[in-house]
Amino acid sequence: MTAAAADSLFGPALVEEATKKSGLIWVRGTGPARALWHTWHEGAAHLVGDGPGEQPLPAGLTVGSAEVTVRSKDKGFRLVAWTAAVTELAPHSEEWEAAVAELKGKRLNAPDAEQMTERWARECRVLRLTPGDFRTDLPDASHAAPPLPTPATTRHPVPDALPRLLLKRRRKS
């Protein structure tokens, strides 16, 4: 078997297995790449986002193409990168329903689990990323970058009364 024949057989299998096992994939449209949670269903990665309470999708991720990078789940290094054909699934179509059923099972901490799929149909985008060309000869250099802007925050000033409240609880114990 030639190297080209081996690549044509093993490449798609590597893309599928690596993407299935990775909790996050890095997706780049026209702007910087974003780490996104996804599910693998019927030969493609599926994403939901761009709605209230959902992950923001990368800038320029519309119908067309995108670059996807998959990391190794156990070691964390870049394992494979592939070009994706991006299609937006029409809400309530047969393909959308099948993808959303898979995505719903992976969505953690949803505030409205019962109405989540209807909210996705009204306010979010469900995308299918179908693999195309791939490569495994990825650079070893770090791609570290400052975090992208986000409205989410976990840092707030400590209220003035908090130290007194904490000390009072310790004394009573």
pLDDT in tens, 139-166: 777 777 787 777 766 667 777 877 777 7
What confidence tier does 123 reach under pLDDT thresholds 50, 70, 90? very high
Burial of 113 per CB tally in 10 Å (0-12, 13-18, 19+): exposed
Burial-class residue 117 by CB neighbours within 10 Å (0-12, 13-18, 19+).
Answer: buried
Q: How big is the chain, counted in residues? A: 173
Q: Is the pTM of this model over 0.75?
A: yes
Query: Which tokens sit at 14?
Result: 């590597």
When divided into structural domains, the chain yields a total of 1
Which three-class secondary structure state does DSSP give residue 168?
helix
Residue 88 identity: E
Residue 64, phi then psi, degrees to nearest 5: 150, -120
CA distance 31 to 54: 19
pLDDT band (50, 70, 90) for residue 78: confident
Q: Which domain holds residue 84?
A: 3-172
Pick the more confident residue, 79 or 27: 27
pLDDT, tens digit, for every residue of 26-48?
999 888 889 999 999 999 999 99
Distance CA 119, CA 81 (A): 32
- CATH, residue 52: 2.30.110.10
Look-up: residue for tokens 């493609």?
Answer: 44
Taking all residues of the chain, what is their mean pLDDT, rounded to a whole number?
A: 85
